[in-house]
Amino acid sequence: MLEVQGLAKSFGLQAIFKNFSLDLPQGWFTVLVGPSGCGKSTLFDCLTGMVCPDQGRIVWQGNATAHLGSLAAYMQQKDMLLPWLTLGENTLLPVQAKPRALRDMKQATEKLARIFKKIGLTGFQTHYPDQVSGGMRQRCALARTLMFDRDLVLLDEPLSALDAITRRELQGLLLMLQKEFGKTVLMITHDIEEALTLADDIILLGPAPMTILDRFQPRASKPRDFSLPEFMDIKARILSRLETGKEKIQG
């Protein structure tokens, strides 16, 4: 269980969020949806320790912590692969970062091979990032995220730069994080259909100072059929709330 309690952050006179609270059930895939500039990425910066919140508490599995930097794996929109390392070497960076006494490179290499097989990268361990497609680079970034071996995974729009077909393929891989690896996932996306594809819990956010406008928990099992009335209804309600929020800003 992740709990965010009364978090606040301002930059100068601009309040990004005030008294913001959030709870994530363990093992769930939770997706944040909201307008650009509402504070989603700043929230992630506070969670990972990149930025210090002005007030509030972060609690993971019942223990208060200053941030989740050492407790969560974090995957961003850009793949952040080092161009001078192969895909295999990039994936092993989380292991290389450990103290030498804690490294088990044989076990890590075997785990890498299993993960690469699951995500369709077998045979590409020795390729460099500029030798593969954008989708394969993101697959490698996902593999590196799994190598951190953390129960909590934070995803900041990891698929937004990909074409529609590749994006659909990688959505299935993100579901694998939850199902096969037992991760608790918190993800940011602007794509409502992506949220409906992946989420157990969709949290709709309002413009800064960021607040929770609504929460939706689709009942249908994954993978999902978007022709079901439930999804049409949720999508319509989300779009309506977002449009209402936009009108308030413009007014």
Q: Structural domain tally of the chain?
A: 2
Asked if 13 and 57 sit in the same domain, the reply is: yes
Residue 103 inside a domain? The answer is: yes
- pLDDT of 249 reads 43
- pLDDT of 162 reads 81
Asked if 189 and 250 sit in the same domain, the reply is: yes
Asked if 40 and 97 sit in the same domain, the reply is: no
Asked if 62 and 160 sit in the same domain, the reply is: yes
Torsion of CA 113, 164, 239, 18, to 10 degrees: 40
The three-class DSSP label of residue 10 is: strand
- pLDDT of 102 reads 62
CB 63, CB 147: distance < 8 Å: no
Residue 54 inside a domain? The answer is: yes
Whichever domain contains 40, its CATH number is 3.40.50.300
- pLDDT of 132 reads 95
Asked if 117 and 224 sit in the same domain, the reply is: no
- The Cα 190–Cα 134 span in angstroms is 20
- pLDDT of 251 reads 41
Asked if 159 and 87 sit in the same domain, the reply is: no
Lowest mean pLDDT among 63-67, 102-106, 163-167, 184-188: 102-106
Let me know if 55 is exposed, middle or buried by CB neighbors in 10 A (0-12, 13-18, 19+): exposed
Domain span holding position 124: 80-149
Instruction: Kindly tell me the sign of the dihedral angle through the C-alpha atoms of 92, 98, 103, 107.
Output: negative
Asked if 9 and 94 sit in the same domain, the reply is: no
Asked if 160 and 241 sit in the same domain, the reply is: yes
Asked if 27 and 143 sit in the same domain, the reply is: no
Asked if 143 and 161 sit in the same domain, the reply is: no
Lowest mean pLDDT among 31-45, 73-87, 227-241: 227-241
- The predicted model scores a pTM of 0.89
Residue 86 inside a domain? The answer is: yes
CA proximity to 81, closest of 115, 130, 154: 130
Asked if 225 and 157 sit in the same domain, the reply is: yes
Asked if 198 and 143 sit in the same domain, the reply is: no
Mean pLDDT score, 85-103: 83
